[in-house]
């Protein structure tokens, strides 16, 4: 039996998976396949980068009636970038005749209306734009049989909670609902209770972070962070990295300084238009640039498989942000490294992350002769 046979996929989809050299099921795909094919409602906890997208996408293909003019699958996502990424994955693996529509803010409403007039089988997007299309009767939910809530921890926080819950209350009672999340939150479980449905929990790992990630930190006061970044990139031969900072206003300046230092770099932040952001992500994904400077708004949904390093230029404000920044590396079975710059008065935060996430973050530093070594007290 071939690994993907359990999904009862159309032959065309099987061929596309083979052409992409996807020959084995990743753990999250293997452990959820049977329950998803049976139609169970699920809450799946799996660290970012472990193959969740295909885990929820493959089971839906055999259920879609290509002759129908009803929307059948609804995928709700927290950011435009993640929605665009899922839209691209679906375009890559779907069978001929499957129609899809992407509903996100910052994009042409007229173009989206035209897509909805084509009667898509799969509708995906951010909660606000999906709700708008439902309220204006372009999107009908009566035919929905599968709902995916990706990044459920984010979509069940205060900003999104009631909008997402109210959408889910409109889908048919018999529709299958799947929550996928890197972390399990009380809010996500509360939403399940609000929906009055039985959910099955599948936790892929007791670890909240991907076990293929090597976690490091190094001491650096603010004025020494930039020289350290340049030294690391040169001496440790860092070729593909995302550099996270906390403020939009700092992205352009840091990216510019890195360019002046000879590093192939672009910066991306929420102040840019959707088209500009898409173009820059494309440059990074295709290797036209080696370093991407960005903020926490892109800590979710940035799926670039060959990112070797995450550099936390600024300390993440909490453990959830640390998880999602870290999840941009070591994707789909690869290895990756996270390096966090820490000021002396914030060193205690590293220990809090270790305890909360059940990981070890090793301290490293440079010796006087330029060796990158473990720091032992």
Residue 247's CB is within 10 A of a number of other CB atoms, namely 12
pTM: 0.75
Nearest to 148 by CA among 131, 164, 129: 164
pLDDT at residue 345, rounded to an integer: 95
Q: Which domains does the chain have, with CATH numbers?
A: 5-203 (3.40.50.300), 213-374 (3.40.50.300)
pLDDT digits (tens, 9 = 90+) for 306-347: 899 999 999 999 988 898 899 889 876 789 999 999 999 999
Distances (CA, A) of 290 to 26, 99, 133, 150, 313: 28, 35, 38, 28, 16
Residue 238's CB is within 10 A of a number of other CB atoms, namely 18
Strands 336-342 and 122-125, sheet pairing: unpaired
pLDDT at residue 208, rounded to an integer: 60
pLDDT at residue 301, rounded to an integer: 63
Within 8 A by CB and 6+ apart from 249, the residues are: none
pLDDT at residue 24, rounded to an integer: 85
**Tokens 């370093």, located at residue:** 291
Flag residues of the chain having pLDDT under 70: 1, 205-208, 301, 332
pLDDT at residue 205, rounded to an integer: 62
């Amino acid at each position: 039996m071939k690994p993907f046979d359990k999904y009862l996929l159309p032959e065309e989809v099987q061929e596309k998976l083979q052409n992409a050299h996807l020959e084995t099921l990743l753990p999250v795909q293997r452990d959820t396949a049977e329950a998803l094919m049976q139609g169970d409602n699920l809450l799946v906890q799996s660290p970012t980068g472990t193959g969740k997208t295909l885990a929820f996408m493959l089971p839906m293909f055999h259920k879609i009636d290509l002759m129908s003019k009803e929307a059948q699958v609804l995928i709700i996502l927290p950011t435009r970038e993640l929605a665009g990424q899922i839209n691209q994955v679906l375009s890559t693996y779907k069978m001929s005749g499957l129609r899809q529509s992407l509903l996100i803010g910052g994009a042409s409403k007229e173009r989206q209306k035209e897509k909805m007039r084509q009667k898509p089988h799969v509708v995906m997007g951010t909660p606000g734009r999906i709700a708008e299309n439902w309220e204006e009767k372009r999107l009908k939910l009566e035919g929905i049989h599968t709902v995916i809530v990706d990044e459920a921890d984010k979509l069940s926080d205060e900003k999104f909670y009631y909008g997402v819950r109210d959408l889910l209350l409109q889908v048919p009672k018999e529709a299958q609902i799947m929550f996928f999340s890197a972390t399990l939150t009380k809010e996500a479980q509360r939403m399940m209770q609000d929906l009055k449905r039985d959910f099955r929990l599948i936790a892929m790992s007791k670890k909240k972070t991907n076990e293929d990630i090597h976690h490091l930190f190094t001491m650096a006061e603010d004025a020494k962070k930039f020289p350290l970044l340049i030294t690391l990139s040169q001496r440790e031969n860092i070729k593909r990295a995302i550099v996270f900072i906390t403020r939009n206003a700092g992205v352009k300046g840091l990216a510019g300084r890195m360019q002046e230092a000879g590093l192939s770099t672009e910066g991306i932040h929420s102040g840019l238009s959707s088209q500009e952001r898409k173009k820059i992500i494309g440059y990074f994904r295709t290797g036209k640039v080696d370093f991407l400077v960005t903020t926490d708004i892109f800590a979710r949904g940035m799926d670039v498989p060959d990112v070797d390093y995450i550099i936390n230029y600024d300390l993440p404000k909490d453990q959830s942000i640390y998880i999602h920044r870290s999840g941009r590396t070591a994707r789909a079975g690869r290895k990756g490294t996270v390096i966090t710059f820490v000021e002396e008065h914030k060193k205690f935060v590293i220990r809090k992350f270790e305890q909360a996430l059940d990981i070890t973050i090793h301290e490293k530093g440079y010796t006087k002769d330029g060796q990158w070594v473990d720091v032992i007290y």
